Amino acid sequence: MQRVLGWTQRLFFITGTLALGYVGFTLLYARLYQVSAKHSLENQIHEEEARPVTQPRPAIKRGGVLGRMDIPRLGVSVVVLQGTSPRTLRLGAGHIEGTPLPGEAGNSGLAGHRDTFFRELKDVRRDDDIQLQTATGLFHYQVDWAKVVASDEVSVLAPSTEASLTLVTCYPFYMVGPAPKRFVVRAHRYEPSARVGEH
């Protein structure tokens, strides 16, 4: 009996160590990828500046670098990739396909994991500034509201007549395992010279 208990303890220890190692490797890889992807975005910006007006802009492939999102007050800076596949969301925030690209008219949707890049959204406030840099420009958004909705609530991604941004992540933030709800942040695009809420 003691021998079985001893082997069981060793097995749990090895399993736990491997699991922690995998999580650590995944997080490290994601951080290194962020650095590489931000350099890729800088190259895209330079290429866009040099691109003739008549030359069509290349399409962004799934998993490709779309831009970088910064929320200065929260210290958030994350690369935005095209699509929301599991691999994409391990590496950064993902643009929800079927919604407009950031900077375009309509409601652009971005998704991210609550335990990595979107964790700080728990402290978001109304009027927070969200900056989205793409190859075509820097776009500013101002937070209107944040709320918790059911996991199947898709109306938050409904088309909009104004240029807006919707951030979606799982909720509760510190729950282990699949989360039953979603935390949603909505912001509208604005020109910095006309920012609402500043005096």
Structure tokens at 45: 């910006």
Whether residue 167 lies inside any domain: the answer is: yes
Look at residue 25 in the predicted model and tell me its pLDDT.
46
Strands (E), the chain: 65-71, 76-82, 93-95, 107-111, 129-134, 137-150, 164-171, 181-190
Q: Is 91 within a domain?
A: yes
Q: Rounded to two decimals, what is the model's pTM?
A: 0.78
Q: What is the pLDDT of residue 33?
A: 76
Specify if 5 maps to a domain: no
Give the number of domains in the chain. 1
Residue span of the structural domain in which 71 resides: 27-52+63-193
Q: Contact at 8 Å (CB) between 78 and 136?
A: no
Distance of CA 62 to the CA centre of its chain: 15
Along the chain (199 residues), what's the average pLDDT of each consecutive run of 10 residues?
Answer: 63 55 54 75 73 66 92 96 95 96 93 94 97 94 97 94 96 90 97 62
* 35: in domain: yes
- CATH number of the domain residue 103 falls in: 2.40.260.10
Q: Among positive and negative, which fits the CA dihedral 174, 177, 180, 182?
A: positive
Yes or no: say if 30 and 90 are a contact pair by the CB < 8 Å rule. yes
pLDDT of residue 19: 45
In this structure, is residue 132 part of a structural domain? Answer: yes
